[in-house]
Structure 1
Amino acid sequence: MGKLLEGIRSPRDIKSLHREQLSALCEEMREVIIETVSHNGGHLASNLGVVELTVALCLAFDPPKDSIVWDVGHQSYAYKLLTGRYPQFSTIRREGGLAGYPCREESGFDAFSSGHSSTSISAALGISEANAVQGKDGYVAAVIGDGALTGGLAYEGLNNAGRLHRNFIVILNDNTMSISKNVGSIARYLTYIRTKPGYIKIKRNLEISFQRLPLLGKPLAALLRHMKARIKKFFYNPTIFDDLGFAYYGPFDGHNIKELTETLESAKLLHKPVLLHVRTYKGKGYQYAEQDPGMYHGLSGFDVDTGDTGDKSHSFSDAFGEALCQLAEENPSICAITAAMQSGTGLSGFRERFKNRFYDVGISEGHAATFAGGLAAGGMLPVFAVYSSFLQRAYDQLIHDVSLQGAKVLLAIDRAGIVGEDGKTHQGVFDAAFLQTIPHVTLYSPAFFSEMQSQLAFLAEKGDGLCAIRYPRGKELYRPPYFQDMAEPFSLYGEGDICIATYGRLFSFAAEAREGLLKGGIPVRLLKLNRIIPIDPAAVQAAAGCSQVFFFEEGVRQGGIGERFGFLLQERGFAGQYFLRALDDPYIPHAPMFRALEALGLNAQGMAAVVLQHCAEKKGAGSSEKTT
């Protein structure tokens, strides 16, 4: 495995390989991807589907001089293998290793860092414009999947790019839907002819010649263009891409390297925006992924021989889905919205049981929020289940189309906090801070499944306006024996002159830290915020009676809940010491969740260490004063 890959340090190294070697290279890449993802986790089906397309791109273009921008980036593994990263590929998604997405810091071959959907066309257009202004050579190509094309940002980019009068290439990787079927042998033949370099050169030379003819040249050229358009329209179904100003070609076989390479070379000759439509199959080359590409989209690991995906332990997403189904049984106004993340957010069961109240709006979080506002205005109770990092894309809509309307919409914010191996683009560390800036928001943050269910029920029944509940990825952690489920704004455990305050998943670590400190003879009051927006004044009062308050937050420091809590303490005239540990740099690199929290000092040991350090400093300061 990896015999040919060992000799490849850049895309230029594959240009000398003959056809049989290229086929063997594709098989090698698939073997490496399957084996690596089985151990490290990651995205499998999407990466297996673009192997030949990636090879063709590297044959037709010359990265990094030419820029290839991958949308979402969860299909960039083959590109990493062909751009000198094969020796490090076994480290992908591991702490200190390769990122699971394109990353400019990682390699000069990565033209644009990505992780969220529908950004490639706008980003590639920006790179193309920068090249033009600076007089740089180099082609620019954006690779976008049909799923990402459901995002409105992609159409904004297409609309802007269609006005260009220079080369700009978009490759639509279509693996599920049909954009436009050009049926019949004549249409197929015309597509074949129109993408031949010779045809393109002759067509361009003729146009230039007609333009130079005196008097009749320009009118004749315009007449021929009109006739060509009418003939093309007769044989072809016009596409939205044609209407936006792109030369549309396709669909092509996305697994035919020769055809793809020739087509890409032809596209480079056109002095206008080009959209190449290619058809690929997710999971190609691995039986289990071909049969169920959805299951093998994102994995934590699996058995290569059997396809067994391993750990199926109950998660917060599962618990949310079950709780929502129970509420929907009792309340016919409850409906569920997802932005193409039905399985990931635990809504598969809801879809099966309440088909007429389930909406998958595609990868369009902004639309989902406004759609929810409309549903609420019409008398429904919409619940929008969305990953924390993806909710960032709907900030304006939450303000203008939900909060401002006074509409009751419930956000179920999944993957809140550190998510682990998906890394910088997916860490759910901004939601609490930006929601805090929106008027009249109510936000709860449970630590356990049962608590989430009771808080969700409370918000559904008694919540008002924009309500939200945020919960982490994966399963629940340590549950202390004294913990009690409640939808009250806060919970208080124990007495002491030292207070540890926190919310959400970190409560489990705080409880363990408290127990360790108690064994060391340090009594600690543990304050758990259940409702983090707005913070209950009584919770602030409970902490204000202590001489030292330590707030731990799995989110950004600036504008976060901990910063707000400190301000409220100060307003109350708190005379003690306040310590806040949160994320000063929110772009947390990929690493297992527990390792990331350990590095940030947000696990039990880190919390206890901070308290002990400050207690020792305070004691030392007190001894020094006595000595003086």
Structure 2
Amino acid sequence: METPILNTINSPADLKQLALLELTQLATEIRSVLLNKVSQTGGHVGPNLGVVELTIAFHTIFDSPTDKVVWDVSHQSYTHKILTGRKQAWLDPAHYDDVSGYTAPEESPHDYFNIGHTSTSIALATGMAVARDSQHRSGNVMAVIGDGSLSGGLALEGLNTAATLQSNLIILVNDNGMSIAEDHGGLYTNLKELRETNGQADNNLFKAMGLDYRYVADGNDLAAMLDAFKAIKDIDHPTVLHVHTEKGRGYAPAIANKEAFHWHVPFDLATGETLHPSTGESYNDTIHATMEAELTQQHTPITAITAAIPGMYDLKRFGRNHPERYFDVGIAEQESISFAAGQAQQGLRPIVFHSGTFLQRAYDQLSHDLGINKLPVTVMVGGGNISAGDPTHQGTFDVAMLSNIPGLTYLAPTTKEELAAMMHWALHQNQGPVAIRVPGNGVHSAPLSDFDPARMRTVHAGQKVALLGVGSLLPLAEQVQTALLTHDVDATVLDPRNLSTLDTKTLTNLTANHQLVVTLEEASLSGGFGEKVASFYGNTDMHVLNFGAAKRFNDRETSAELWHEFKLTPAQVVSEITKAL
């Protein structure tokens, strides 16, 4: 049996000794190890399968790290990592967790940034090119950006700056006709026209911006990519290399369902079926039921807006039933908020659906366009949890970010009934924007007699200790309450509901028969809800304990490790309370 070619590759220099047939065989081997690992661990499937050839070609023709490549999002950098000395993380299950799913400078001199968000590569590369020139250094600088990422405003800002440079800069547009889901927006009409004319269309976004332009019709053809890179290596001016590839290349399930296999949980390699599918009710069911009720029963003029993450909320379900009310603006978080602001100003009631880790990209629009103008836009915020894995996708900073914008009300439901009530209230009030933190734990249900966003809900009335469980941590508060009974403490349990404005009446009333207030939140303690409570009691005899996440970018820790470190298990919370008492 022949030795796999991948066994001989320990650095990019090893590629330069291989013939085309050997490089082609290497591509096959890399696809196999990519699929083998992600089928077990989960990860970005389609993006990585689509760029195997162009990555091999880059490292064959160019001389990394003297020649530098910046991967946009960097969720397609698995082959790059395999070729730059990190292949054991794909070959040996014992080393699967050794590397990040994104580029990481601490791992290798071939990586330059921790990147997990989109549309940044061109701007970063322009800065690197200027630094190279000002320090009289040599080497190529290349940004690899997907067509989906071009819809982000920063990508266009980067192109605008790139056109002003007068030295080497290569912008590889990896065009597979997909974002996370389908591409949306006018620029994709031009990309389609360029693909259909082999790059010869008179309309050309990149030329219009003053950039040189070249086209490769089949970016999965290794020979074509080798030739394309040879032609532009050491080019002396900014150039766009527009490359057409196939997302999910080489794996039929990923080609048939490109959106599902953009990122996938562990799956059966033979069939593509999810190994441990989630079942049962989800909070998305509550959201959709509420939207349907608002449209059909309340006749509320709602719209649903997403910035390229429809799958997170199953929004295509709403889009199929109400296409005229559903808008995907592409990877353009700023546009999603300002677009909603314009709708709200003219009488519609838009609901914008976001992940907290992506919503930070639209902070100015949240503060300026919504906050200052007091526009009644509802923002659903998902992914608010203590998350590990990599530093680029963190779910703990949304509370500090949103709860401190003047005029914006940030609500944290604890049950599906509360979620529905909060959505209804948000869609019928006129005070200003409302954000709702969709719980990240399993669906909980409890009767709800009424809803007042200015008042905490008393779940259990006790004394001595008050437990304030924010959103998904209300169940933890209830577990702690039960455990404290064995210590002769019958604690009060409160559902805070409102993360931006304190219920000072309830907090003041607690001083009559409580000596300790405990806040539990699945968010950063710095700037969070607990700090507000502690500040309120600052000049009183009330003692306060705050439990939540540290202000940091978590990396390779597991969620269980983080919960233990932050003392968010029932036993740890009880221990801290008894010590404080």
Q: Is the 8 Å Cα contact of residues 89 and 97 (structure 2) preserved in structure 1?
A: no
Deviation at 1:445, TM superposition (A): 0.6
Pick from 450, 470, 474: which aligns with 1:507? 474
Q: Is the 8 Å Cα contact of residues 44 and 298 (structure 1) preserved in structure 2?
A: yes
Paired position in structure 1 for 2:332: 364
1:438 paired with 2:405, answer yes
Paired position in structure 1 for 2:516: 548
Q: CA–CA distance in 2 between the matches of 1:128 and 1:467?
A: 42
3-state DSSP of counterpart to 1:84: helix
CA distance 1:504–1:91, change in 2 (3 Å) = farther
Deviation at 1:486, TM superposition (A): 5.4
Q: CA–CA distance in 1 between the matches of 2:112 and 2:195?
A: 36
Q: Is the 8 Å Cα contact of residues 334 and 357 (structure 1) preserved in structure 2?
A: yes
Residue by residue, what CA displacement relative to the aligned partner does 1:189-236 show, whole Å, maximum 9, x if unpaired?
Answer: xx8xxxxxxxxxxxxxxxxxxxxxxxxxxxxxxxxxxxxxxxxxxx65
Q: CA–CA distance in 1 between the matches of 2:336 and 2:485?
A: 47
Q: Is the 8 Å Cα contact of residues 89 and 98 (structure 1) preserved in structure 2?
A: no
Deviation at 1:592, TM superposition (A): 4.4
CA distance 1:5–1:517, change in 2 (3 Å) = farther
1:534 paired with 2:470, answer no
Letter in 2 for 1:460: L
Q: CA–CA distance in 2 between the matches of 1:321 and 1:42?
A: 28
Q: CA–CA distance in 1 between the matches of 2:457 and 2:37?
A: 44
Deviation at 1:511, TM superposition (A): 1.6
Paired position in structure 2 for 1:209: none
Which stretch of structure 1 is more off in the superposition, 463-472 or 109-118? 463-472
* Structure 1 residues 323-402: aligned runs within 5 Å: 323-330=290-297, 331-402=299-370
Paired position in structure 2 for 1:487: 451
Letter in 2 for 1:553: E
Unaligned 5+ segments in structure 1 are 192-234, 616-628
3-state DSSP of counterpart to 1:533: coil
Q: CA–CA distance in 1 between the matches of 2:481 and 2:39?
A: 38
Paired position in structure 1 for 2:67: 66
Paired position in structure 2 for 1:614: 580
Q: CA–CA distance in 2 between the matches of 1:56 and 1:259?
A: 9
Q: CA–CA distance in 2 between the matches of 1:171 and 1:15?
A: 21
Paired position in structure 2 for 1:466: 433
Deviation at 1:606, TM superposition (A): 3.1
Letter in 2 for 1:557: L
Paired position in structure 2 for 1:407: 375
Paired position in structure 2 for 1:232: none
Residue by residue, what CA displacement relative to the aligned partner does 1:455-505 show, whole Å, maximum 9, x if unpaired?
Answer: 21222223631111012446337x7xx885753431222313122223011
3-state DSSP of counterpart to 1:259: helix
3-state DSSP of counterpart to 1:606: helix
Deviation at 1:266, TM superposition (A): 1.6
Paired position in structure 2 for 1:4: 5
Residue by residue, what CA displacement relative to the aligned partner does 1:312-341 show, whole Å, maximum 9, x if unpaired?
Answer: 324334432343233233334100100011
CA distance 1:49–1:541, change in 2 (3 Å) = same
Deviation at 1:156, TM superposition (A): 0.3
Letter in 1 for 2:204: T
Q: Is the 8 Å Cα contact of residues 216 and 225 (structure 2) preserved in structure 1?
A: no
Letter in 1 for 2:142: A
Which stretch of structure 1 is more off in the superposition, 551-560 or 403-412? 551-560
3-state DSSP of counterpart to 1:589: coil
1:179 paired with 2:191, answer yes
Q: CA–CA distance in 1 between the matches of 2:324 and 2:379?
A: 20
Q: CA–CA distance in 2 between the matches of 1:498 and 1:123?
A: 51
Paired position in structure 2 for 1:604: 570
Q: CA–CA distance in 1 between the matches of 2:195 and 2:543?
A: 74
Deviation at 1:542, TM superposition (A): 4.3
Q: CA–CA distance in 2 between the matches of 1:529 and 1:509?
A: 14
3-state DSSP of counterpart to 1:408: coil
1:576 paired with 2:576, answer no
Paired position in structure 2 for 1:424: 391
CA distance 1:463–1:238, change in 2 (3 Å) = closer
Paired position in structure 2 for 1:292: 257
3-state DSSP of counterpart to 1:383: strand
Q: CA–CA distance in 2 between the matches of 1:476 and 1:396?
A: 32
Paired position in structure 2 for 1:55: 56
CA distance 1:326–1:483, change in 2 (3 Å) = closer
CA distance 1:52–1:609, change in 2 (3 Å) = farther
Q: Is the 8 Å Cα contact of residues 325 and 349 (structure 1) preserved in structure 2?
A: no
CA distance 1:524–1:442, change in 2 (3 Å) = same
* Structure 1 residues 101-180: aligned runs within 5 Å: 101-176=102-177, 177=188, 179=191
Deviation at 1:510, TM superposition (A): 2.1
Letter in 2 for 1:276: L
Q: CA–CA distance in 1 between the matches of 2:485 and 2:515?
A: 17
CA distance 1:134–1:37, change in 2 (3 Å) = same
Q: Is the 8 Å Cα contact of residues 48 and 282 (structure 1) preserved in structure 2?
A: yes
Deviation at 1:113, TM superposition (A): 1.3
Q: CA–CA distance in 1 between the matches of 2:268 and 2:485?
A: 44
1:241 paired with 2:206, answer yes
Deviation at 1:447, TM superposition (A): 2.4
3-state DSSP of counterpart to 2:499: strand
Q: CA–CA distance in 1 between the matches of 2:481 and 2:134?
A: 60
Q: Is the 8 Å Cα contact of residues 412 and 471 (structure 2) preserved in structure 1?
A: yes
Q: Is the 8 Å Cα contact of residues 245 and 273 (structure 1) preserved in structure 2?
A: no
3-state DSSP of counterpart to 2:527: coil
Paired position in structure 2 for 1:307: 272
Q: CA–CA distance in 2 between the matches of 1:265 and 1:37?
A: 32
Taking structure 1 as the reference length, the TM-score comes to 0.84
Deviation at 1:148, TM superposition (A): 0.4
CA distance 1:120–1:606, change in 2 (3 Å) = farther
Q: Is the 8 Å Cα contact of residues 95 and 591 (structure 1) preserved in structure 2?
A: no
Paired position in structure 2 for 1:221: none
Letter in 1 for 2:263: G
| Number of positions where the alignment pairs a residue of Structure 1 with one of Structure 2 | 562
Deviation at 1:354, TM superposition (A): 0.9
Q: Is the 8 Å Cα contact of residues 48 and 76 (structure 2) preserved in structure 1?
A: yes
CA distance 1:182–1:498, change in 2 (3 Å) = closer
CA distance 1:536–1:576, change in 2 (3 Å) = closer
Q: CA–CA distance in 2 between the matches of 1:468 and 1:451?
A: 14
Paired position in structure 1 for 2:534: 566
Letter in 1 for 2:403: Q
Deviation at 1:599, TM superposition (A): 3.0
Q: CA–CA distance in 2 between the matches of 1:102 and 1:183?
A: 29
Paired position in structure 2 for 1:87: 88
Q: Is the 8 Å Cα contact of residues 254 and 279 (structure 1) preserved in structure 2?
A: yes
Letter in 2 for 1:312: S
Q: Is the 8 Å Cα contact of residues 216 and 224 (structure 2) preserved in structure 1?
A: no
CA distance 1:534–1:448, change in 2 (3 Å) = same
Which stretch of structure 1 is more off in the superposition, 490-499 or 349-358? 490-499
Q: Is the 8 Å Cα contact of residues 35 and 304 (structure 1) preserved in structure 2?
A: yes
Which stretch of structure 1 is more off in the superposition, 503-512 or 5-14? 5-14
Letter in 1 for 2:69: I
Paired position in structure 2 for 1:231: none
Q: CA–CA distance in 1 between the matches of 2:481 and 2:439?
A: 22
Deviation at 1:288, TM superposition (A): 0.6
* Structure 1 residues 211-290: aligned runs within 5 Å: 236-290=201-255
CA distance 1:110–1:354, change in 2 (3 Å) = same
Q: CA–CA distance in 1 between the matches of 2:232 and 2:340?
A: 41
3-state DSSP of counterpart to 2:537: helix
Taking structure 2 as the reference length, the TM-score comes to 0.91
Q: CA–CA distance in 2 between the matches of 1:51 and 1:30?
A: 7
Larger radius of gyration between Structure 1 and Structure 2: 1
Letter in 1 for 2:88: P
Q: Is the 8 Å Cα contact of residues 411 and 467 (structure 1) preserved in structure 2?
A: yes
3-state DSSP of counterpart to 2:17: coil
Q: CA–CA distance in 2 between the matches of 1:29 and 1:543?
A: 62
CA distance 1:381–1:183, change in 2 (3 Å) = closer
Q: CA–CA distance in 2 between the matches of 1:322 and 1:599?
A: 38
